[in-house]
Amino acid sequence: MEMNQPIGQTPLDGRPDGLVGRPVDRIDGRLKVTGLAPYAYETQALRNPAYGFIVEARIARGGIRSIDTAAARLAPGVIHVMTHENVPAQGERREQVWPQLQGTEIRFFGQPVAFVVAETFEQARAAAALVAVQYDAQPPKASLKDALGEAYKPKPAQTDPDSQAGDFEGAFGAAPVQLDVTYTTPPQVHAQMEPHATIAAWDGDKVVLQTANQMLNRGQKSLAGLLGLPPENVRLVSRYIGGGFGSKLQVQPEGVLAVLAAKAIGRPVKVAMTRQQEFHCASHRTGTIQRVRLGADRDGRLSALAHESWSDATPGDQFFETSANVTRSLYAAPHRLTRHRIANLNVPVTSAMRAPGEAVGQLAFECAMDELAEQLGIDPIELRVRNEPAEDPEKKVPFTVRQLVPCMREGARLFGWDKRGDAGSRREGRFMLGMGMSAAARLNPLMPSAARVRLGPDGYLTVRMAMTDIGTGTYTILAQIAGEMMGLPVERIRVEIGDTAYPMAAGSGGSFGAGSAGSALYVACDNLRQALLKAGDLRPDDAVFADGAVRAGNRTVTLAELAGRDGMEAAGEIKPGSLKERYSHYSFGAHFAEVAVDADTGEVRLRRMLGVFTGGRILNAKTARSQAIGGMIFGVGAALMEDGVLDPRYGSFVNRDLAEYHVPAHADVPEIEAVFLPERDDKANPLKSKGLGELGICGAGAALANAVYNATCVRVRDYPLTLDKLLPGLEEREGRVQRRS
């Protein structure tokens, strides 16, 4: 099925009390809380594995002068030591799946330079410490600010890095009100609970990876290309994933090294990164420098809008943070400019992290809108309403459904926005109080996916597809969709996912997982329904699937009877069609935050937070709320604490563990709530749903930053908003107050 026309009435529309939408508990929950859900490193499918350990480069730029592995090879339990001198041949990089140990060039600190395989993990780790590497080191390039003069326009990544409409420079120069500000965001690290892990085993010229990977078919294709194998000879299995947030969108070094070593020793090889290795061997979100310029009349209507972003990438790569892409569709302005540039630095690999582009882009742009509102003396919500576009400002096509203004209005009502007050006007003892808000917007793509369903003679339905569950509830949502379509309870649905041996699926990423995989399953179930009706000679116009049976006219037949002794199968697929170009596809929302700032120390404490979102049809009320709140907590971290600190002398992260790279804990997140407005998007997919996994983070941090300004009258444009950045402004403000008095 291709999405070429809006979706009309479906079986999901006729049953408001159906399974889809209910807050159904996770069907895999018991396995997880009892420790019976096997994650990649825990799987027992591949027997008698050896253990691998990565040796990292201790410089960020230069080359390997010599490498001595003699002591490591003689260490207890060691089976194999792999370096650039004996690594098997590999092809070129494929979609950020990099060849490993090739050549002597060092591009970043932590780059794998050797791989030790032993009988136990402890033996491999101990032997890895015996590998002696001599380097010819050069001073690394590790500062984005210092490299701006070398920045260049990258190759297009789905969309062009630049966009332009009208005459921005002329309109900005003529605007009665102008704003020109620069915001910076630091490197951020995914910090997912489960580290990257793989067990690889060969059978002839075929290899199986039990691995932690979000997008199995993409990983299969990329790894096969790297190894010079047909895709069908590479199988990825990933039943359960302990978080990814984008770090597991592609096969990481541990996966490639496990495959190569397993081939060399003729035995499965098992490897997991340590938490410290996660900060260098795996990917992270690049830092950004973003310049926002806004030109408006004195009523707040934008005439000129520009958003420029600079980010960094590992030498040889052109991945860039698409920070300004969301700006292209957010607000109306006739004269527009967006631009992305990258500089290649000697830093670990940068890649996608939750809501790539929108997450950091809205940290800057939504604060700039708040600054413009303050400059004009207009309520921040009202400023956004006055610049609400009638269509996508740059694509010049209508939005599928756009409820940004209702989200802001409802959020203001629920949050008590009318009690906000002017900047610096509210106080509670030594704490300065403030409220802030921001818009939220996230692209809502549909990706090709397929599914197969089988109704057995026992009346149970089995769902199979190469979809993944990264803790978001995929197992449960698929069971709900199949259950409602077939009139079965979730207890009679078997969901089998996480294996490239099953039909191709989009995977978990980009907020397209549930909509894409769920739509493929919907089509497969609809095809099975038609086949069952035909087999039973039942009229389709009044057929009702419920309680494990089909009622049509005056007949009721059980699904087991219709399936017959051999059961019955059906397949389905979904593809984006012409609607992708004819409409602008976004999810929208609004964030509200209240903070308290200690006037003496500058410490910021979040007091409460609210997100109001539209996500099309909500597939599971419980998991949807969980996803939205999880994204909002990500925004809290980005605003107040997350900072991957790079030492420019060595190009290494100095805070490379969860003790020093602080992510929000319970004490950092008090009262937080997410609300969904009713919506059906008939141009998105057959489910009429939208992606939610990343919408919650978009704009969330900006709402906190705007609240901090409202509390203190101090604007910090360098994230995160730590007390050392606030204190100078607080001291200056206190001095102004004292001078006036």
Q: Cα–chain-centroid distance for residue 649? A: 31
pTM for the model: 0.97
User: Which token pair is 267?
Assistant: 């035995």
The residues with which 289 forms a beta bridge, in sequence order, are 184, 310
Measured distance CA(438)–CA(384) in Å, rounded: 9
Residue 30 lies in a domain: yes
Q: For the chain of 741 residues, list the mean pLDDT of each consecutive stretch of 10.
A: 97 86 96 95 92 98 98 98 97 93 98 98 98 98 97 92 98 98 98 98 98 98 97 98 97 98 98 98 98 98 98 96 98 98 98 97 98 98 98 98 98 98 96 98 98 97 98 97 97 98 97 97 98 95 94 94 96 98 98 97 97 97 97 98 96 96 96 97 98 97 98 98 96 72 57
**Where do the DSSP E strands lie in 177-334?**
177-185, 197-203, 206-211, 234-237, 269-272, 288-296, 302-313
Residue 697 lies in a domain: no
The residues annotated as belonging to the active site are 694
Residue 269 lies in a domain: no
The count of domains in the chain is 1
Structure confidence at residue 157 (pLDDT): 81
The residues with which 666 forms a beta bridge, in sequence order, are none
Measured distance CA(336)–CA(706) in Å, rounded: 24
Instruction: From residue 36, give the alpha-carbon distance in Å to each of 39, 195, 476.
Output: 9, 18, 17
User: Which token pair is 146?
Assistant: 């210092």
> Is the Cβ–Cβ distance between 357 and 419 less than 8 Å?
no
End-to-end CA distance of the chain: 72
User: Which token pair is 505?
Assistant: 């699926």
Residue 630 lies in a domain: no
Q: Which domain does 557 fall in, by range?
A: 2-37+446-497+513-581
H or E element at residue 645: none
Residue 635 lies in a domain: no
> Is the Cβ–Cβ distance between 246 and 190 less than 8 Å?
yes
Residue 31 lies in a domain: yes
Residue 530 lies in a domain: yes
User: Which token pair is 349?
Assistant: 């690999």
Amino acid at 650: Y
CATH code: domain of residue 537: 3.30.365.10
Instruction: From residue 608, give the alpha-carbon distance in Å to each of 434, 478, 593, 605.
Output: 11, 33, 6, 9
Residue 517 lies in a domain: yes
> Is the Cβ–Cβ distance between 335 and 165 less than 8 Å?
yes
Structure confidence at residue 734 (pLDDT): 79
The full DSSP string for 82-147 is E-TTTPPP----BTTB---S-SSEE-STT-EEEEEEESSHHHHHHHHTT-EEEEEE------TGGG
For 271, phi then psi, to 5°, come to -150, 140
Instruction: From residue 274, give the alpha-carbon distance in Å to each of 54, 127, 193, 277, 281.
Output: 9, 15, 11, 5, 10
H or E element at residue 561: helix 559-563
Instruction: From residue 362, give the alpha-carbon distance in Å to each of 183, 309, 676.
Output: 11, 12, 21
For 285, phi then psi, to 5°, come to -80, 135
Structure confidence at residue 736 (pLDDT): 67
